Amino acid sequence: QTTSTQRNWTYLLLFLGGASLSLFLTTVFDQGIYQTAQYSSSGSILLTAWFGLWFILLITSAAQGLYILLVRSARIVPFKERTRLGFAFLFIAWLTFLTADLRMISVEPPALFHWLIIFSGISLLGLYLIFSRLNLTEEIFP
């Protein structure tokens, strides 16, 4: 049961990671198009066709990461492996969140939005480093 659960989570992780990375790379490489469209329309323009995919990726990866890390029924997988998988899903959610920030640069969101993304990325990395160095035999959240 443990290996099939881990395998299913890994497949979902690869699927969500590939979709999130594709969305991120598309956003980065299309920045010139967004700027050209903004200048030709004499104002802010936001292409919104990708919001559905963005929302599904964000919610699915964040929910799966929190589920793996916090829910009792996910504890059939060993702590170290579960920590890696959970934080990988949360990193995908963060990458998707970063993609939204990059996509909305032409709309000029408040600076607080940018700082929130930077702070959440640093916090996520710090928590991962703390949890990965723990050598626990029992659970943190019993």
Cβ within 8 Å of residue 136, ≥6 positions away: 79
d(CA 38, CA 21): 25
Find, among 39, 22, 4, 28, the residue nearest to 102 by Cα.
28
Each residue's pLDDT tens digit, 4-23: 888 899 999 999 999 999 99
pLDDT per position as a tens digit, 28-65: 887 766 666 655 555 555 556 678 888 899 999 999 99
CA distances from 7 to 12, 32, 115, 119 (A): 9, 39, 35, 31
**Which candidate, 95, 97, 87, 84, places its Cα nearest to that of 65?**
87
- Dihedral angle sign, alpha carbons of residues 52, 54, 59, 61: positive
pLDDT tens figures, 74-133: 778 888 888 899 999 999 999 999 988 887 776 666 788 888 999 999 999 999 999 888
How many C-beta atoms lie closer than 10 Å to residue 52's C-beta?
Answer: 9
Angstrom CA distances, 129 to 9, 13, 76, stand at 21, 20, 22
What is the value of pTM for the model shown?
0.82
- Distance, in Å, from the CA atom of 15 to the CA atom of 40, rounded to the nearest integer, reads 36
